[in-house]
Each structure stands twice: as structure tokens, then as C-alpha cells.
Structure 1
Amino acid sequence: MDTHRRGLLLGLALAPLAARANIAAPPEVVAELPGAQLLGNGRLSFLGLHIYDARLWIDEGFSADRFDRHALALELQYARTLYGRLIAERSLEEMKRAGGISETQAGRWLAEMKRAFPDVVKGDRITGVQRPDEGVRFFHNGTLRSELRDADFTRRFFGIWLSPQTSEPKLRQSLLGTALPRP
């Protein structure tokens, strides 16, 4: 293989890493998790419709199989207009997939998420910041919207994307790729 072709192939192989390195953390991530690094990113589509792009920001020492024990931020940048109450309802449906949520708990969590998630338009960002033993803080376009100190909620909420039981395993792989344990 000639040098030009080798260089081209190497450039193509390294392009995703270079692109990831050029993505700056949003201000709320910088403020909440100084030194956080982008681990992965991916896109959620439903029936061919682009819903959002997701980015996972982590602190040093992150372990995918123990995601609930690490500070992290999940940033969702929406590609379309969605109602906040529908985002909250869908989030609760996904959290219920892990089982064991009482109707009382589900009602409380749904009310919290309806407060946290505003209606969004194309380009809007909702960022959830997980602080182990503290809970979660939700930001809309960099502005704090809500804080919930509930470890079970926090684990289940971020489990929507990071748990092995996620309904979107390809998105999980894109977010966690290099941190997933090797078989």
C-alpha cells in the first residue's frame, strides 16, 4: 500500500476522534463537572425521524458498568419541537422498564420531570447532571430548571441511556463505546 493511501486511511480512521476532541463542553457541564471529557455521542431517531443528538460527558475514572456511581452529564440537543410533558411521560415509560416503581413514586417522578422539562424547539438542549449521592440537576439551554435529590430516580433516569436494559442499545453503545467492558 502506498504512503498516500496509508495516510488517507489513517486520517479516515482518526476523524471521529478528532471530531470528538473539537466538541466543547457546554457551560453547564464545565460549571458542574470541571475537567469533564466527552466519552461518546449518538443520535436517536424514531421511525426515521431525527429526535435528538446525545453526548455523554464524564469525569476521570468512569466505569460503564457502574455509571450510577460517577459524576456525569448527558446532553440532549433536540432536532425538532417536542412538548415537555411528552418528554416527561416518555422518560417515565422508559424508567418503568427497569420495574418496581409504585404508582405513588411514578406520579411524583412524573410531576418532577414535567417541571424540569420545558417544551423544546430545534436546537434546544436539555442537560442532566448526575452527582452520586446528591441526585440530578436539569438544565435547559444552560439554565438550571430543576434539582432532584433522589438516588433511585437518578439511577433509573440515566439508565434510560446507560443501562444494559435500555430500549436503545445502539445509542448506548455510541455513548459508552470505549468505556464498555470487553467480553
Structure 2
Amino acid sequence: MLFLSSTLLCCAAGAQAQVWKQHLPQAKMLGGGEFRWWGFSIYTARIWQQTPNKDGGLDQNASFALEITYNKSISRERFVDSSIDEIKRLHGDKFNADKLKLWRQYMEKAFIDVKSGDQLIGVYLPGTGCRFYSQQTLLAEIPDESFANAFFSIWLDPRTKDNNLRQKLLGNNKSSAASTDPSM
């Protein structure tokens, strides 16, 4: 099977604007919160979107960015394994082993080892797929809409492991959306 998912591009180290903002130049933060596991802060997540839904929350049919700032080190392998496990938990047998193997390959190209303070950003592009960024660098473009939907469901599906974080990301807790500057 032809593997078209990984394109690596580099940007100037001193770039001022967030590279992912080329897809969402007028993005505003809709919501955000912290993911904790057994009391430990794992990461802080924020959702950015140009045009929220009529209630001011996330429109999941329009482009958005999920920005994650890590509070601890996580290996690429663990990130990929956890993502596949969550997709399987949320979607059961909907995706066969070959599809999951392909998606694992996508993620192995797109993700990197992270340490505390590192940031990964996933940009959902409806009808197209998604892109993944680290700080100012495009890590991968994945032209697979079913992968993009399954991946972002880890945070946005009602059956997510942390529904409180989901509600905050969706913009249902407006007190979490204090900042509107993605350079923060």
C-alpha cells in the first residue's frame, strides 16, 4: 500500500507566528484544561478555532487545532500505543487490523518523544485529514479523514476517559477560555 502520509518541512527557528495558524489565521482559544492521571499532571490541552458553533463552542465539522503542552516526558512509542489503545476502546471492531497497522505507521512518522514543556499540535482539516506540528515544525501531513476523526475522538468523543476535560475543550466551560493568543 502506498504510504503518502509523511511530509517533513522545517521552519526558521525564530519564526514569530505559530506555523499551524496558516490553517486558522484568526483562531481563538475555545477552551482548555489539564489531563491528570492518578493525580499526576500529564499535559495541558487547548482547542483553537476560527469560527465556533452558534453557541460559541467547538464546531467539529470545521478546522480546529488541538494544542497539547506536556508536563512530563513521554516516548513516541508510548504515545502511539496509547493512541491506538484509545481508538480501539472507543471504536471497538469498527477498524480492522490492517487499518490500525496503517494508522500506527502514520503516528510513528508524526509523533516524537516529548519532555516537560514540549508542545504538539494536531490540526483537523475536515474532508482532508490532519497535520501534526511540534513548536514551529510540521512533523507530518496525514491525508486520511477516517484517521483524523478517530484520532481526535480520543479527546472529543463523549466516551473519552476524561469527560471533564472534553467539556472544557468543547468550550462548554467558558472560564477556561480566558486567553485568545496562541503564542502564549
**1:117: how far off?**
0.7
Structure 1: where are the runs of 5+ without partners?
1-25
Can you give the 5+ residue segments of structure 2 that lack an aligned partner in the other structure? 1-16, 175-184
The answer to whether residue 126 in structure 2 is matched with residue 126 in structure 1 is no
Rounded Cα–Cα distance in structure 2 between residues aligned with 1:131 and 1:154: 8
CA contact (8 A) 1:62 1:179 kept: no
> Of residues 70, 76, 91 in structure 1, which corresponds to 2:68?
76
Larger RCO of the pair (alpha carbons < 8 Å, separation 6+): 2
Which structure's CA Rg is the greater one?
1
Offset, 1:167: 1.6
One-letter amino acid of the structure 1 residue matched with residue 28 of structure 2: Q
> Which of 31, 41, 62 is the aligned partner of 2:53?
62
Deviations 1:105-147 (A, max 9, x none): 1111011101111000111001000111111000012200111
Show the counterpart of 1:35. 26
Cα-Cα RMSD: 2.1
Where does structure 1 differ by over 2 angstroms across 4 or more consecutive aligned residues?
Answer: 28-32, 61-66, 177-180
- 2:91 maps to 98
* 8 Å contact kept, 2:24–2:63: yes
Could you say which structure has the higher helix fraction? 1
29-38 or 114-123, which deviates more: 29-38
Identical counterparts, % of pairs = 34
Instruction: Give the alignment's TM-score, normalised by structure 1.
Output: 0.78
The CA distance in 2 between the partners of 1:27 and 1:65, in whole Å, is 20
Instruction: Give 1:169-180 correspondences, 5 Å limit.
Output: 169-178=163-172
Name the TM-score, length of structure 2 as normaliser: 0.78
